[in-house]
Amino acid sequence: MLWIEAVRQLSSNLVEPFALEFVWRNLHELTKLQWLNLQKEIISETEWTELKSIAQRLENDEPPQYIVGWAEFCDLKLIVDERVLIPRPETEELVQMILSDNDASARAVLDIGTGSGAIALALAQQRMQWKITAVDISEAALEVARENASKHNLVLKFIHSDVFENIQEKYDIIVSNPPYIAFDETYEMDQSVIRFEPDGALFAEHQGLAIYEKIAERAQNHLKPEGKIYLEIGYKQGEKVKALFEDRFPGKTVNIHQDIFGKDRIVSVQ
């Protein structure tokens, strides 16, 4: 059987050909051209067994990024596994907003709920003068973040902390993409997310607002007078999160920003 026939046979409504291609190419370090040339060849029994195994994992909703062990974020190839959330394209918009709003001069930055380190590392790569601290309540997530920092030769400070619990300093920028999904909103989620990504990085009490409430309550103690806050939010949370921070920061302007799909996605305080 030719490779192209094998891929066609294993493809279904649950397994897209591009997903099989993505996983195989990355596990075997093939270029796009090498993959295309492979389609004309006869598939070996060993390859057929491996390809079927990959298809089964995809059919069982395992994310392709977890199978290959990495995800791309802001031109960084980041290690990901079931200890951390897979970084989303919408979060790249959060990074770009921070970079657009703030020049390269020295700043102290705190990333709350860093997970894989995606936001902190993307900022560190573009702003070498910034002193960046990344915190997470999950020690397992911090292990991944440290691995990613080492992989990309980026120097950050990592702290095990529940929001500000183990933080003493004040910062020019506080950023967070916290867990913000309400426990009764799983009907909106893909099975791959529910089954494989860590609950602690997804769900929060108080209809998904619990971490924003913690940040709003204590951020005054850790934000410099001219400091700024940037938060990724769920698309239905804009007005509630905005009200939280307007109450705690009456002297600052709180804005809701939409993502490329026109959905509320970021709240800024500055």
Query: Which residues make up each annotated binding site?
Result: 113-117, 136, 177-180
Annotated binding site for substrate: 177-180
Gap between the Cα atoms of 109 and 252, Å rounded: 18
CA neighbours within 13 Å on the CB side: how many for 213?
9
Gap between the Cα atoms of 132 and 120, Å rounded: 7
Tokens 């506080």 correspond to: 174
How far from 43 is each of 2, 5, 50, 211, CA to CA, in Å?
A: 6, 9, 11, 50
Annotated binding site for S-adenosyl-L-methionine: 113-117, 136, 177
- Report the DSSP beta bridge partners of residue 258: 264
